[in-house]
């Protein structure tokens, strides 16, 4: 059941989905990553790449949610290790170094 919910959230954050659906799904992921069980599910099913792609969504709210999810995930050693091993650190630094990026605020 929980796996199905997570899978549906990942489908909803797909670039082809309506903006409001992506906003709602990405906000659900933010809340999900505030609890250990939610973080573990994301690691177990290797959805971190899908979540990282939120940072490049044209909608600012979705970007902010993506950043919050990654921040929540990086609070755990497993999260930091996973983000580093998948090469997302470099992409995250590049993302945060863009001058017109409102997320830094």
- Separation of alpha carbons 65 and 31, rounded Å: 10
The string of pLDDT tens digits covering residues 75-90 is 777 777 777 776 666 7
pLDDT in tens, 61-75: 999 998 888 888 887
pLDDT band at 102 (very low <50, low <70, confident <90, very high): low
- Please say whether the beta carbons of 49 and 86 come within 8 A: yes
Q: Full-prediction pTM beyond 0.75? A: yes
Domain that holds residue 45: 2-104
Task: Map tokens 């992506």 to a residue.
Answer: 22
Burial 72-84 (b: 16+ CB within 10 A, else e): bbbeeeebeebbe
At residue 28 the predicted structure's pLDDT band, cuts being 50, 70 and 90, is very high
Q: What is the number of structural domains in the chain?
A: 1
Tokens linked to 61: 């709210």
């Amino acid at each position: 059941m929980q796996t199905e919910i997570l899978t549906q959230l990942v489908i909803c954050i797909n670039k082809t989905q309506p903006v409001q659906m992506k906003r709602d799904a990405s906000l659900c992921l933010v809340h999900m990553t505030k609890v250990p069980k939610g973080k573990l599910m994301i690691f177990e099913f290797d959805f971190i790449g899908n979540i990282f792609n939120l940072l490049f969504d044209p909608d600012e709210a979705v970007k902010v949610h993506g950043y919050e999810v990654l921040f929540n995930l990086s609070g755990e050693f497993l999260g930091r290790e996973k983000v580093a091993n998948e090469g997302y650190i470099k992409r995250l630094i590049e993302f945060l170094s863009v001058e017109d990026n409102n997320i830094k605020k």
